[in-house]
Chain A
C-alpha cells in the first residue's frame, strides 16, 4: 500500500487546522457546542396543571432481593414448611385471606390492607430471570427484556416522552425550577436516566444538603453565575447551575417549612419519606420520587434481619400515607415497592435464602384498588425458583396508562396487559 499523502488532506498543525476551519473546511468553530434546546425554545408561560390532576409516583426500592415467600406467607402450604424448616413463619401471622398472611412485623401495612389502601401484586417477575443483583436491578429499572441491555430507565423514557409530546411540561418544570424527579442518595437511579437529559435532584435522608459553603462563598458564586460569559457552553452550565441553586433553596425551604404532626420512625427510609411528603406538599411540579431501602440480601441468618427490614418498611410506609392524608395529598400519590428479585423457595444451610426470581410488590394509595392481585406463587418441592405469573412491565404499563395517562408502548417498546390495581 502506498502511504497516503496525509499532509494534503489532514491538517498537521494547529494553525493549519484552525485556518482551514475558518475557511469553512472543518467548521471547527462549531465544535463542541451543543445547543441547549430549552434555551432555544420560547419560554412560553404555561398555565399550571390543576392540582387534582397532578398524579405522583413514589418508588421504594427494596435493594438486595426481598424474600417474597416470607413477606406474603402461604401459611397452609406444606411445601413451604418443608423447604424452610427454620425460616418458615408460623406465629403472629397477619391474615390476608384463607391462604395467605402478611409477615408479623407488617402490622401497619396490614391495617392499610384492611382499609383498602394497600394492594399486593403477587408473583411478579420476568422471563429468563437473571440472578445478578446488578443485572437484575438493571432489568427492573430499564424495563428491558432479560437479554437486552438498555441504558435508559423506564421513567427516564417517560420523561423523554412527555417532553416530546408537550414541550410545555419541561418548560414549566424549568420555569418553576422543579426537577422532573427527586431521588434520595448520591447516585441517580438508572430508572430515571432518559435518552435525553432531565433535571433530577438528589436529596439526603437527613441533615442539611446542597453544596454547603458559607454565605460569602454562596454570594460570590451567585454573582459569577449571573455574569454574562459570552460562551455558549458556559451559558449552558450557568443556566443549569443557577437552576440547581434555586431548586436547592426551594427544596430546603419546603423541608424546613413542613410542620407534620405525624411521627415518623427514625430509620432512614422513614426520614426520607418524611422529606418526600414535605416536597409533595410544596408547590414543586415533580411527579416522580425514588428512594431505596437496602439490606434485603439475606443469605444468612435471615429471620431477625428480615423482620426488622419489613418492620421498618411497614412503619415508614404507613407514616407516609398518614402524613399524605393529613396534608390532603393521599389521593394524588401512588407508592410502589420493587426489588430486583425474590429468593429461592428453600432455605440454605446458613438459615438464609439465595437469589431467586418472582416476588410480590406493594402498592399503596387512595387510588389503589386494595387487596390481592394476580395469582399466588406455586412452590414446587424441588426447591427451585418460583416461576413468575405477572410480568413487572404489566405493572409499569398500568401506571403509565392509568396514573400518568401516557401511551405505555411508547415507553416500554411493547404492549403489556394492564393489571387493574388503580
Chain B
C-alpha cells in the first residue's frame, strides 16, 4: 500500500484559503482607510463572512478528496497526525491557518518526526491555538512547551516543570505576519541561556526539539500513539514498542519508515483484526459513501451539521487532547445521528426545495462528476435482482468488515423473505438501511 502518493494538484481547501486571504487583504486595506465606526464594523463582518465561506469550501473539498479510495490512506494518516498536533477551529478561527496546518502535516508526514515538530511549532494555527503569539521574553507562555512534551513527543513523567518553563522561554517570539505566515520576533524572543534536560545553552525552539529527541522516551511515545490508532487500542508489550522505537531512532525518526514497518505486517487486512475498532464519525461517513458508490454532498452546512451531530465537529476537537475515540464516539445522540445519516443517504433529494447556494453547489458537483450523492433507484434495483437465496450472504459480505455470526445472516434472510415481486426493492432498501445502522457496520 502506497501511503505517500500525494496528489499535489488536489489540496482540499487551499484555493479557498488563498481566495480568503486575498479578500481579507482587500478589506483590511479599506478598514485602514476609513475612520467611520459603522463602516469598519461592516468590513470586519465581511472578513468574518469570507472566513466562513472559505471554511465551508474546505469541509466540502476535504470530504470529496478523502472519499477517493486512492486518497484514503493519506487521509487516515493526516487525521491521525491532526489528532496529535491538535488545533481547533473555535480558537484558531482562521480558515487559512487551518488549511496551512493541514499542508504542514501532509508535507511533514513524508519526512522525519522532529522536522515535523519544528514545522508545527511554526504553524500559524498552532501559534494561535497554544498561545505562542502571546508568549514574550518577559512573560513566557507555557502552553505550547507543555503540550509539546506532554502530548506531542514525550508523554507525562518524562520531563520536569522546570524543563517546561525553560523550553517556553526558547519558544518566545513565535509570531505570524500579516499574510498569516511565521516569523521570529527577535524583540520578543528570549536569547538568554536556558537549562533544559540538564543542559545549558542559548537554546532556541528548534534546539529544544532536538534535545527532546535525545530523550529515550521520544522514540516510544509516537510509536505507541501510532499503534493505538492503527492497530488496536490495547498495545503490544513494552519490548516490542522498544524494539520498534529503537529501529525508528536508527532511521532518524522517519515517518514513512515507521508506517511501512508497521504496515508491512499487513495487519490491516487480517480479518482477526477487524471489527475491533469503532469507526470515527468521519470514517463512518466516508465508508458509507464508498460502499454505496456515492460522493459526499456538496452542501457545507449539511456536512458540518452531520459531522457535529455524530460528535466530530470538522477541524474542531473539544480540547488539546483531541478526540478520545473508541467507545467515546458512542452516545445516545451520536448513535441517533449515525442512523439519521444512513437514512438521509437513501432519501431522494428534493431539488426544488434547495436554496440557491445548495442548488449551485449541486450543479457544480454534477459538472465535476462528483455525483450521485444519494442512493439511486437503479442501484437498489440492481441489488434486488440478485438471487434472493444468496442476497443475505452477498450483502453482509459486501458491507461488513468481519463475517457476521450465522444468526445475523439468518436474520437477514428472514427479513428478506417477506419480499414479493412488487415490494422487493422496498424490502431490500429497508434491510440495507438497517444493516448500515447496525453495530456490525459501525466497527472496522
**B343 near A: Cβ within 8 Å?**
yes
Nearest chain-A residue to B45 (Cβ)? A300
Interface string of A74-105 (1 = CB under 8 A from B): 00000000000000000000000000000000
Q: Residues of B with Cβ closer than 8 Å to A? A: 37, 41, 88, 90-91, 231-234, 236-237, 239-240, 243-244, 246-247, 249-250, 261, 264-267, 269-270, 272-273, 275-278, 305, 308-309, 311, 313, 318-321, 326-328, 330-333, 335-337, 339-340, 343, 402, 404-405, 407-408, 410-412, 414-415, 426-427, 430-431, 433-435, 437-440, 442-443
Complex Cα distance, B437 from A197, in Å, reads: 21
Contacts of A179 in B (CB 8 A): 332
With A14-B265, A233-B443 given, name 8 new contacts (CB 8 A): A1-B250, A26-B240, A28-B272, A34-B326, A179-B332, A224-B435, A234-B440, A247-B332
- CB < 8 Å neighbour of B305 from A12, A13, A186: A186
Complex Cα distance, B427 from A219, in Å, reads: 11
Complex Cα distance, B343 from A59, in Å, reads: 32
Complex Cα distance, B264 from A13, in Å, reads: 6
A172 vs chain B, min Cβ distance (A): 17
Contacts of A384 in B (CB 8 A): none
Nearest chain-A residue to B406 (Cβ)? A230
Assess the A216–B427 pair: CB atoms within 8 A.
yes
Assess the B265–A13 pair: CB atoms within 8 A.
yes
B121 vs chain A, min Cβ distance (A): 19
Nearest chain-A residue to B415 (Cβ)? A220
Contacts of A13 in B (CB 8 A): 264-266
Complex Cα distance, B90 from A193, in Å, reads: 19
Given A3-B247, A17-B265, answer yes or no on A237-B430 (Cβ-Cβ < 8 Å).
no
Given A197-B327, A229-B440, A230-B405, answer yes or no on A214-B430 (Cβ-Cβ < 8 Å).
yes
Assess the B332–A237 pair: CB atoms within 8 A.
no
Assess the B319–A138 pair: CB atoms within 8 A.
yes
Given A190-B318, A199-B332, answer yes or no on A9-B438 (Cβ-Cβ < 8 Å).
no
Given A223-B415, A228-B407, answer yes or no on A300-B41 (Cβ-Cβ < 8 Å).
yes
Q: What secondary structure prevails in chain B residues at the interface with A?
A: helix
Selected A-B contacts with CB under 8 Å, 28 pairs: A4-B250, A9-B239, A9-B240, A10-B244, A12-B264, A12-B265, A17-B267, A18-B270, A28-B236, A151-B318, A197-B331, A200-B331, A209-B336, A212-B340, A212-B343, A213-B339, A218-B434, A221-B434, A223-B411, A223-B415, A223-B434, A225-B438, A227-B410, A229-B408, A231-B275, A233-B275, A233-B276, A238-B439
**A244 near B: Cβ within 8 Å?**
yes
Assess the B402–A31 pair: CB atoms within 8 A.
no
Contacts of A11 in B (CB 8 A): 265
Contacts of B327 in A (CB 8 A): 34, 197, 236
Interface string of A188-208 (1 = CB under 8 A from B): 101001000101111000000
Assess the A32–B234 pair: CB atoms within 8 A.
yes
Assess the B270–A213 pair: CB atoms within 8 A.
no
**A241 near B: Cβ within 8 Å?**
yes
Complex Cα distance, B90 from A3, in Å, reads: 45
Contacts of B437 in A (CB 8 A): 211, 213, 217, 221
Nearest chain-B residue to A242 (Cβ)? B439
Contacts of A17 in B (CB 8 A): 265, 267
Complex Cα distance, B328 from A151, in Å, reads: 13
- CB < 8 Å neighbour of A217 from B233, B402, B433: B433
Complex Cα distance, B273 from A48, in Å, reads: 42
A247 vs chain B, min Cβ distance (A): 6
Interface string of A1-27 (1 = CB under 8 A from B): 101101001111110111000000011
**A297 near B: Cβ within 8 Å?**
no
B70 vs chain A, min Cβ distance (A): 23
Complex Cα distance, B168 from A70, in Å, reads: 41
Given A224-B411, A229-B404, answer yes or no on A6-B247 (Cβ-Cβ < 8 Å).
yes
Complex Cα distance, B261 from A209, in Å, reads: 47
Contacts of A9 in B (CB 8 A): 239-240, 243
**A30 near B: Cβ within 8 Å?**
yes
Contacts of B247 in A (CB 8 A): 3-4, 6, 10
**A167 near B: Cβ within 8 Å?**
no
Assess the A31–B234 pair: CB atoms within 8 A.
yes
Given A28-B232, A151-B318, answer yes or no on A234-B275 (Cβ-Cβ < 8 Å).
yes
Nearest chain-B residue to A150 (Cβ)? B319
Contacts of B239 in A (CB 8 A): 9
Complex Cα distance, B410 from A134, in Å, reads: 50
Given A14-B267, A34-B233, A210-B336, answer yes or no on A237-B439 (Cβ-Cβ < 8 Å).
yes
